[in-house]
Structures are given as C-alpha cells and as structure tokens.
Structure 1
Amino acid sequence: MFENALAQAADEVSACLTQTLARYPNVPLTDAMRYAVTGGKRLRAFLVIEGARLYGVYPRQSVWAAAAVEALHAYSLVHDDLPCMDNDDLRRGLPTVHVKWDEATAVLVGDALQTLAFDLLASKECAPKASTRIELIQTMARASGGQGMVLGQMQDIASETALTPLNLDQITELQANKTGALIQWSAMAGPILAGQDVGPLRHYANALGLAFQIADDIMDVEGDAQKAGKRLNKDTEAGKATFVSLLGMDEAKKRASDLIDEAESALAPFGDKAQNLREAARFVIARES
C-alpha cells in the first residue's frame, strides 16, 4: 500500500511540474530545470500529500505544495553538487546539472527552481485562502533559508575546516537544519492547508528527519554506490564527524530505529488513517538510495 501511495504521489507531482514547465520558454534553461526535477523518491512530496489527506485535503489541491517542495529540494541538490560545494558528478544515477551543462547554468537552474517553488505556493490552485498561501510561503522560506536548510549547509561547510570535529549535539543541530527543516515543512503543509494544528505531524517529522540523516550516514559507509545513484564515503574521505563516527555503527542503527518508533507514536491520534505515514517512517531507514 505504501509503495503504491509513494508511486502515485510521484506521478501526480511529476505531472504538475511537467504541466507548469510547459508554460516556460523553450530554452536550455527550461530543459535543465526539467532534468533537475526528474526522478528521485519524491518522499517530501509524499509527506505533503499524505499529511494533507489525514485532514481531508486531497491531491488535486495538495499536489501544488508537494510540487513546490520537490522544486525547492531539486534546487538544493543542484547547488549542493556544484564544485564550490560537494563537487559531485553523479546524482540519481545521472550526470549532475553542472556536468551535463556547465556551472553557470547549474546556478541559474537552482535559482529558477527556488522561485518556481514559491510561485506554485502562491497559486490559487494551491489554496483558495490568501492567508493559507502566505503561511505556506512564509514557513517554507524559514525552513529553506538562513534559519533552516541554507544555514545547515553553511554549518556543514564550516565543519570541514573546524579545528575540532563537531560533537553529537552540534551534528544534530546541523542536520535538523540542513535536512530536517524541509522534511518538517513537508509534513506540516497538510495541516496548514486544512487550517489545523501542525503539532502532531511536526513531532512526527522531527523524529523522521533525524532518522533520515542517520540512515544517510549509515548508507555512506555501508551502501552500494550503484543503488544509491551517487558517490558514497564522502564524509569519511573528508574526515567529517557523522552520527556513525560519533556513535558507532550499531548505536547509530539503534538510534535511527528508536526515532522511527517515536515518529510512529506521534501518529497515534490518527489511527489507521496514518498507516502510509508509518510505513514511510520504516522506509526511511530501510532505503538503499
């Protein structure tokens, strides 16, 4: 059931992005934008759509917020892959944007995808009430900018030249910003669309986001690069502190499992309606890419 729901969410978001980008000029920039948003698990989009469904908001509306978060996530990956950041040549098993085109194009693609995200949230199809659209825009800006994802990326860059490796609390804060903030927004978008309390899904997403990053650190050590579709062992080669280096492999796996239990517990008020979100939590620490 979860696999079908994940695939359905991916199809709905891909159709929304295709429809939107069809209105863009037929130029190389648009081709590169389309390339950057193709593929991936669409987990963040899934969280938007399933979180909204809990409150009676269905994909014909929630898909706009789901597409927005995928556009913004794609922008972050394009910029993260640049030579001035992680200098990666492979993403989702394909050449990164700066490799397939060039660095300048990659910068502009990221810029265009970021603005696309907010354009999607501002559309009336996303939410009929202007106040709801404003709340979605404001919370995404905070989750993705200098208080969230971008801050986390800067903290990550700074950690590479720090005189001493980061400790566990510092790594947890960094990853809560770099990875967790956008996952949290994705889960909160549903109740925001419905005008409901975001508390239960925020709690769920906080635990889920941290487990997601611990699973990434584990994959970086034990994963298969071909299945992951990207270069692995980057953190080890860079000598960076990770959950695995600080906790050890066994304890890192236990910590991730405990966090998934916590995420599932946060869904108790929703009963069986939240089964797909429970399975998504288990998927996060079992994935190979």
Structure 2
Amino acid sequence: MSPALADLLDLLDLEQIEQNIFRGSSRSAVVPRVFGGQVAAQALVAAGRTVPGDRTAHSLHSYFLRMGDPGAPIVYTVDRIRDGRSFTTRRVVAVQHGQPIFHLSASFQTYEEGLEHQAEMPAAPDPETLPRAEEMLPRYADRFVDASVVDRILEARAAVDLRYAGEPPFASVGSPREPRSQVWFRTAGKLADDPLLHVCLATYVSDMTLLDSVLLAHGRGGWTVGDVVGASLDHAMWFHRPFRADEWLLYDQESPSASGGRGLGQARIYTRDGRLAISVIQEGVVRVPR
C-alpha cells in the first residue's frame, strides 16, 4: 500500500463522538477547498457505520451546499430514517463552522436474487498500456495556469492510479470534440475485503473526472488552464454489482447537456471483466470567466 493510500484510509476512518455523530479531518485538494469526493465518501462512511453488517450500499443522492474549509474538521450527523426488512435508509448532514456544507441520502439493502441484465461494456484500451499520471501530466505543464498545478494534481491523486484512455480536457483546449471521456482507475495498493470501504473509495474517485466530458464538448480545459470556473452541485450513484476498488475499473463518462451555467455528466463504471458495477450522474457549475 502506498503512503498516500494509507493517508486516505486514515481520512475515511471517522471518529465517533456520540451516537450517530462522527467527526472527520479534512485537507486541501487541487484547489484550496475540501475535495467533494472526500466529503461524499466520509458521509457514506458515517451512514454505513449505523447500518447492519449484512446490508450494502445500493444508492446515494447528495448535494454540495457550501465550499468546505480544509483547515477545519467536518462533523457528520446521521439520521436513521428507516430500518426495513430489506432496505435501510440514512440521511447525513456534514457541518463546518456551524453551517451545513453537504447533504447525503443513502440506501442499503440485504442481498437478494432478481432479474439480471446490463448495458454492454464499451471498447477501451487496456489500462496497462496507458501512461500513469506522473508520466502524462508533465507533458502539458505549459498549458496550466501555473507550474504548481501538476504537483498539486499528482499529490491530490497519489492514492489512486488513474489513467486517461484519451486526451484529457487540458490537452484539447480550443478543439471541441465528442462529449465523452474514459479513465481507468484503481487504488494504489490492496484493500481489506470490507464492501463499504470499496464503495466509499469508488465514491471518492467518482468526483474527480465526471465533468470532463462537458469541457471536451466545448474545447475547454477547465480551471487548470483558467478558461472555466466549476464546482460540483449534486452527485448520485447506484451500486449494481459487487466490485473491488483496488482492481481496475473503467469509468465511461459522457455529457448529454450543458446550459444555464451548469453541465451534466453521466457515467457507467465497469469491472475489467465487463460487469456493470456503478452508474453515476452529476451536475456542476460550469461558468466561463468574464
């Protein structure tokens, strides 16, 4: 396990300070605010720790309400909405400085047999043939707003081996193309077998690149090149089948719409052997500076 992954696992290991109340530390991401994927993953950890062990997360719906302060702890309050025979529902509010910054609703289910079908996995290059972030990003250093961006991105993503299947937005500035992007990802080391841990780490990674396809459609590079201002607004995930976050997952992303200063990204995450593991939808602020 890499030191960065060990640090991330520590970040997700919340302190329980009262029944249904947890506290997590926070840290700066690529930009000087708390990374949205961190808050979503920590909130899911808090919810999961109040759920019977035979139930796994099958969906989450969330809203990012305020910018998180990386210099302050985050308190997560869990509301035990319902414990049914098959499903458990939890609501989590993340608070900093006395104000809510994030809201999550999550549902958990006991395993049961049912109807089976899925969308076919799209074609994608083998992840082992693609360059690692530390090999790829320095090629585009001259396109970023300043030289420190490469180091900040590498530091923020050091716990995850994330590989672009095509050119990222910051490599395609001024050249609009199909609003679709693919990345392969896995954690930088093996994980324990706890299903909740794998779901939370996939949630963490899911906020990293989902709106890339919005930028590609317009030939924009994002905040890294200074031609777009963006932030996540909401985030939803459905966990269809078991998976491991320490094994390669294909994140196939596209954008069906952008309007009103917002862009929508939707995606499917597949295991390397073609099983549809997760569906994701996110809307974010996508503004052109004036």
Question: What's the TM-score once normalised by structure 1's chain length?
Answer: 0.31
User: Is the helix fraction higher in 1 or 2?
Assistant: 1
Q: Which has the higher strand share?
A: 2
TM-score w.r.t. structure 2 length? 0.31
